[in-house]
Amino acid sequence: MKYVDELTFPAVAICNFNLHRPTWQGNFLSKDDFTPILTDFGVCYTFNAGDGNDTHKVKNTGRSFGFSVYLNAVEFDYNIGPRQGLGFQVMLYQQGDIPLVADLGFAVSVGEEVLVGVDVTSIQNLPPPHGSCGKKHLKYYDEYSRNACRMECKTDYMVDYCGCRMFYMPGNATVCDFRVMYVCGQVALAELMNEESRCECPLPCTQVIYKPNLSHAKYTYQAFANFQAEYFGVPPEYFESNLVKLHIFFQELAIHEVQEEVAYNIFGLLCDIGGSLGLWLGGSILTVIEILDICFKGCCGSAWH
């Protein structure tokens, strides 16, 4: 583990929400601080995306030095759809990467205060011949990542299979209509999962992973719910069935470093060869001298005396 003076805060993608009173290190944010994006989970908004702006840095630990927001599910606006859960999907990821929220995000439920302590892991993999990391040129993305490669593979397979793409997929192909999306599209993506060899996405040589550690508490107690109900003009039950208070922060200013290293290189081989030669040559010379000494004493010892 490596302790540092500051850390880059992750990009935070939050899906299906109305945000209220978002803050960064105690300062209120505006809608301009969030970037709308289309993901595999639907429309999401990203804080600290790093698209043309400087990314936020953190020099202290704890939720006072992180990102906080109230999320409002607005349950009465929900319609019957492919997802049955009431709540929000959140993902932490490195700037410049593609957020696969449906696959890699975590869920937060309404009626809770959720604290997300973040751990940072830096991974360094070795390229061939000692390792298997690498990258490949992508058509739709400027920078390589495994998520971007997987998304590009899904897009190409979907276009070949159905003649169109999902709304969140990159490229210029026609976007599938609702019927094709849920009839042909679901079948295509299910078949692609059974043909993993079609998606050759090498392991990146450098990667930063933000791991969320979640803890939950009920939001909020009855007395405070009654107070807020008067302020917002809603019944006290509204908070339990619609609201989430989310805090995201670093637990410690440290990076867990994982590095692949060459177990046996050419220098080690030469050292072992040299040591072995020295051992065997030295042993052979000593053995020859001892044999000659024994023969000399055996043959000439009596005559000498």
Q: Where are the domains of the chain?
A: 2-124+206-259, 135-202
| pLDDT by residue, tens only, the chain of 305 residues | 888 999 999 999 998 667 888 999 999 999 889 999 999 888 899 999 987 667 899 999 999 999 999 998 876 555 555 566 678 899 999 998 999 998 899 999 888 999 999 999 999 998 888 888 998 999 999 889 999 999 999 999 999 999 999 999 999 999 999 888 888 988 888 888 887 677 888 999 999 999 999 998 887 777 777 777 777 778 888 888 888 899 999 999 999 999 877 776 666 666 767 666 666 656 566 666 777 777 776 676 555 44
CATH fold for domain 135-202 = Helix Hairpins (1.10.287)
pLDDT for the residue numbered 285: 63
- Residues 107 and 88: beta-carbon distance below 8 Å: yes
Task: Judge if pTM exceeds 0.85.
Answer: no
DSSP the chain: -EE-S-EEPPEEEEES-EEEEEEETTEE--GGGEEEEEETTEEEEEES--SSSPPPEE-S-SGGGSEEEEEE--GGG--S-S----EEEEEEE-TTS---HHHH-EEEETTEEEEEEEEEEEEE-PPTTT--------SS-SS--HHHHHHHHHHHHHHHHHSSB-TTS-SSSPBP-HHHIIIIIHHHHHHHHT-GGG---PPPSEEEEEEEEEEEEES--HHHHHHHHHHHTS-THHHHHHEEEEEEEEEEEEEEEEE---SS-HHHHHHHHHHHHHHHHHHHHHHHHHHHHHHHHHHHHHHH-
Cα 59 to Cα 54: distance, rounded to the nearest angstrom? 16
Paired tokens of 172: 């210029």
Q: Which CATH class is domain 2-124+206-259?
A: mainly beta
